[in-house]
Amino acid sequence: MRSFVDGMSMKTITIFLLLVLVSSCASPDPWVEPDDYVLTLDGRTTLDSNGFYHLKLMRDRFQTVHRITGTLLDTSGKAPYQEQKVWWESSHTWTFQQGDTLMKIIRRKVDYRGRWVYVDSSVVKSPGEFVVPTVNPASYSSATGEINTMIGPVLSMLGDTMTVQCMWTSQWYTTDTIRKDIKFILE
């Protein structure tokens, strides 16, 4: 009888120690949001001493397309466990007027000599007036915490200072919001 009790207590002690060992090695819940994120932005062009980026607009095109990069990291410098959505806004927009050409569609095919030949083309016109933003409205962070978006100021904005704002909001606590601005002088 004594060996059974000793055997039971030994089993109980072994199970208890295994449970303690396993629970102490478990990582924290990966879905828990960190207390704070750090958001950084890079305009990827010349930065002056006043903190303004200088973007040269292309004179031979209606719109100049430019990439903005940055990072969204937790306070310890690590990327979030899963990708995070960030929102983008710009101080500038431009407008399509009714009747403006939205796009030109060109159909072509390869002829018997292997060369491209234009078959026909058509023009799509704006049915009404609508506002076009100069920044993509949202993007997601990568596995390393990198964020990117594209801006597209138009030539009529030459000489303006365009402000682009990036915003991250916690999906769990909507009061946890981080905003970061970046300014471009459009030259």
Looking at the structure, do residues 87 and 166 belong to the same domain, yes or no? yes
- Cα–Cα distance for residue pair 96/62, rounded to 1 Å: 13
The residue segments making up the domain with residue 37 are 30-92+134-186
φ, ψ of residue 105 to 5 degrees: the values are -100, 125
The secondary structure of residue 98, as a DSSP letter, is: T
Residue 65 maps to a domain: yes
Looking at the structure, do residues 60 and 37 belong to the same domain, yes or no? yes
Residue 145 maps to a domain: yes
Could you read off the pLDDT of 93-144 as tens digits, one per residue?
A: 999 889 898 888 999 999 999 999 999 899 999 888 989 999 999 999 999 9
Instruction: List C-alpha distances in Å: 8 to 3, 14, 16, 66, 117.
Output: 8, 10, 12, 71, 87
Residue 7 maps to a domain: no
Average pLDDT over residues 80-102: 92
Looking at the structure, do residues 60 and 101 belong to the same domain, yes or no? no
Domain count, the chain: 2
Q: Which CATH number fits the domain that encloses residue 163?
A: 2.60.40.2550
Instruction: List C-alpha distances in Å: 155 to 3, 54, 101, 158.
Output: 91, 15, 17, 6
Looking at the structure, do residues 109 and 177 belong to the same domain, yes or no? no
Looking at the structure, do residues 141 and 125 belong to the same domain, yes or no? no
Looking at the structure, do residues 53 and 144 belong to the same domain, yes or no? yes
- Cα–Cα distance for residue pair 46/27, rounded to 1 Å: 43
Residue 20 maps to a domain: no
Looking at the structure, do residues 175 and 147 belong to the same domain, yes or no? yes
Looking at the structure, do residues 149 and 101 belong to the same domain, yes or no? no
Residue 21 maps to a domain: no
Q: What's the pLDDT at 88? A: 98
Q: What's the pLDDT at 73? A: 94
The secondary structure of residue 174, as a DSSP letter, is: T
Query: Up-side HSE of residue 57: CA atoms within 13 Å toward CB?
Result: 20
pTM greater than 0.85 (yes/no): no
Residue 152 maps to a domain: yes
Looking at the structure, do residues 125 and 35 belong to the same domain, yes or no? no
